[in-house]
Amino acid sequence: MKRREFITLLGGALVAWPLAARAQQPGKLPTIGFMGANNATWERASTDAFVQRLRELGWIENRTVAIEYRWAEGRDELFAEIAAEFIRLKVDVILTYATPSSIAAKKATAVIPIVFAAAGDPVGTGLVASLARPGGNITGLSIQQTDLASKRLEMLREVLPGLRTVAILVNIGSPNSVLEMGEAQAAARTLGLAVVTSEVQRAEDIAPAFDALKGRADGLYVCSSPLLSTNRIRINSLALGVRLPTMYGLRAFTEAGGLMSYGPNLPDLFRRAADITDKILRGTKPGDIPVEQPTKFDLVINLTTAKALGLTIPPTLLALTDEVIE
């Protein structure tokens, strides 16, 4: 083989050489910047699922891959700061959870690959051009947050046959939550329900919002956002105080005392996010990986809360329940 041909061949091999092989070199391991929307305790099950799946794929934390964890504690304003830190650290992939963190990461870099483990409406919020062809440096998994609004309200009405007015609690600063609010309002109108909307932007707004709702609604639909997730115990306590049965999109709210929730299984989404991360670390461009949809959904009902509210859960709904909390 001629020297020029050998150099050309070697150059091509280097271009195709995945991060997995480069990780075997002395020095920096391939690094994932894990941008948590809440805190380590709240996201433990999802984090464990992500790390376990990476291990199954050959990425062992601190041996073949490094993971830098940062937690926003439900404060959306911290996402830009965390993204900037990941850029300084020169991470190889940024993993995000929830729409606000994904938007912040996308604004911060058009170069570092981004994987969102759970975004509410990635097309509607402008994260990707389309699910089939996301383009750019970002891809991940949708949680169909807006698509499920109608189903959640139907379930709430099944528990509350006398439901006439539904209150909708929304973090108006979260783009995806605003989209979900619109879908919930439309679904309520279709079901013949009146709507009272309560908008918050800070933790300090939550208690006054419940004071304003007192006596004005029969049930409460909460639009998911990191801010409200972080304050879920407080929200459930206030809802119980004004006798409002609650419907959520995330299991954690029901585990913290909410009446019921229906939505995708988050640990399953994080496992699948690990599969996407693996592909990127091995050389696939994120824009070439279609956004995936959830396949596993959980209906969770808290019977202790139902009893406290004097409610009886219909047997037909209990039969569909994935988990009952007593």
Using 50, 70 and 90 to split pLDDT, how confident is the model at 9? very low
Q: What percent of the chain has pLDDT over 90?
A: 79
Q: How is the chain split into domains, by residue range?
A: 3-143+265-296, 149-264+298-325
Stronger pLDDT, 25 or 124, i.e. the higher one: 124
Torsion, CA 40, CA 289, CA 65, CA 33, rounded to 10? -40
Exposed / middle / buried, residue 139 (Cβ in 10 Å: 0-12, 13-18, 19+): buried
Q: Which two tokens stand for residue 203?
A: 């933790």
Report pTM. Answer: 0.82
CB atoms under 10 Å from CB of 16, counted, come to 9
Residue 65 DSSP class: B
pLDDT of residue 190: 95
Task: State which fold the 3-143+265-296 domain adopts.
Answer: Rossmann fold (3.40.50)
The confidence score (pLDDT) of residue 27 equals 65
pLDDT in tens, 187-198: 999 999 999 999
Structure confidence at residue 231 as a pLDDT band (50, 70, 90): very high
296 three-class SS:
coil
* 284 Rama class: left (phi>0) / alpha (psi -120 to 50) / beta: beta
Q: What is the pLDDT of residue 28?
A: 86
* Closest to 264 in 3D by CA, of 288, 229, 293, 290: 293
Region 229-252 average pLDDT? 95
Tell me the average pLDDT of the chain.
90
d(CA 319, CA 88): 51
One CATH from 3.40.50.2300, 2.40.37.10, 3.40.30.10, 1.10.357.10 for 149-264+298-325: 3.40.50.2300
What's the average model confidence in pLDDT over 270-285? 98
Do the domains 149-264+298-325 and 3-143+265-296 match in fold? yes
Model confidence at 34: pLDDT above 90: yes
pLDDT of residue 38: 86
Mean pLDDT of 201-225: 95
pLDDT at 311: 97
What number is the average pLDDT over the span 170-198? 94
Give the sheet arrangement for strand 246-248, strand by strand: 194-200, 165-171, 219-222, 246-248, 260-264, 297-302, 323-325
Mean pLDDT value of segment 80-95: 97
